Amino acid sequence: MNQKKIQIDVYSLLLCVQVVFIHISSEFIIYYPKDRAAYMLVFVIWKMFSFVVPAFIFISAFKIFANQNTLQLSYGTYIKNKFSRIYVPYLLWFFIYYIYFLSHGYFKIEFISLLRYLFLGNLVSHFYFVVIIFQFYLLLPFWKNIMRIKGVVLYSLIFMIIFKIYLIEIDFIYRDRVFFTYLIYWIAGCQFGRHYEQLHNYIMKHKVFITASYLLFTSYYMLGSIQQAIYGNTLKYAEYLHIIFCLISIVFVYCLTTELSKSNIIVFITQRLSPKTFQVYLSHVLFLFILNNIISVYSLTPLVKLALIPHYFLRLIHLHSFVQ
């Protein structure tokens, strides 16, 4: 298998595991007493994984611009491929969730609400990623053109910050579903795909510095986030600190997964599970709903529920291993 593909597949699989952890630990984050050491530990891990959506966007852009065959496809063929690989599975799981919620009395059938859920991706929390990524996919001709502009990564960062400020000012509630708010991560992924060899070599040459920078900045960001979440102290410039945190995390995790991809065991696991990561991403929250319904009769504490994560996740992966 191509080494570049292995690296990116390991990266994607790791992100998928982190997404599952975020959603499984959300109930713990909401309900567990904040003055406990266990809460602080889980909160820090949960917060450290908060870069996953920007990272998925980065990786999605990379996969397109690192593959000349994809870039040479006609626009119609390209969109058809993306629709069948991304939107069709989304539609399938959307209606599975919808039927589940209907059968459990969460809401009644209403056509307008159904369309809103479908196109805004707010039926379930993690569906919004599909809405975002498809906006980027639809604009591929635009991305191919602007990538010729010198300094496009810096311009995209400035534009994204301005757009974020504007959406906050007008109190636009769906700003997390507009592609502009993730622009820097997409453009960075495009550039990384276009100049993979040079940027890969540069990153790996400076991996010690990148790791040190990640550890220092993440420590500062986590301390500030703990102060805000637990003690109510406002973290100044939190929005901008989060952007920096996401960018540093994306590069650091690339270094990490490059090293992990040298392990035969990791490669074997990745080859086995990588084709199913998107299905796991779409389906895992439904399994979490079902699991919570089953164990709710036992009145377990949030901490005990959280202890079930490894078992739950392995069961989910085992189930998907039978899906071709």
Mean pLDDT of 246-267: 94
90/278 Cα distance (integer angstroms): 9
* Residue 56 near residue 15, CB atoms below 8 Å: yes
Report the mean per-residue pLDDT for the chain. Answer: 87
pLDDT average, residue stretch 246-259: 96
pLDDT digits (tens, 9 = 90+) for 186-235: 999 999 999 999 999 999 999 999 999 999 999 999 999 999 988 888 88
Task: Give the tokens for residue 44.
Answer: 């820090």
Residue 153, number of CB atoms within 10 A of its CB? 16
Q: Would you state the pLDDT for residue 322?
A: 45
> 0.95 exceeded by the pTM?
no
Helix (H, G, I), strand (E, B), or coil: what is residue 169? helix
Please check the confidence at residue 105 and state whether its pLDDT lies above 90.
Answer: no
Give the pLDDT score at 324: 44
Q: Closest Cα partner for 116 from 127, 105, 106?
A: 127
Over residues 119-139, mean pLDDT: 93
Going by pLDDT thresholds of 50, 70 and 90, the confidence category of residue 53 is very high
Residue pLDDT, tens place only, 13-48 = 999 989 988 988 887 888 888 888 888 998 999 999
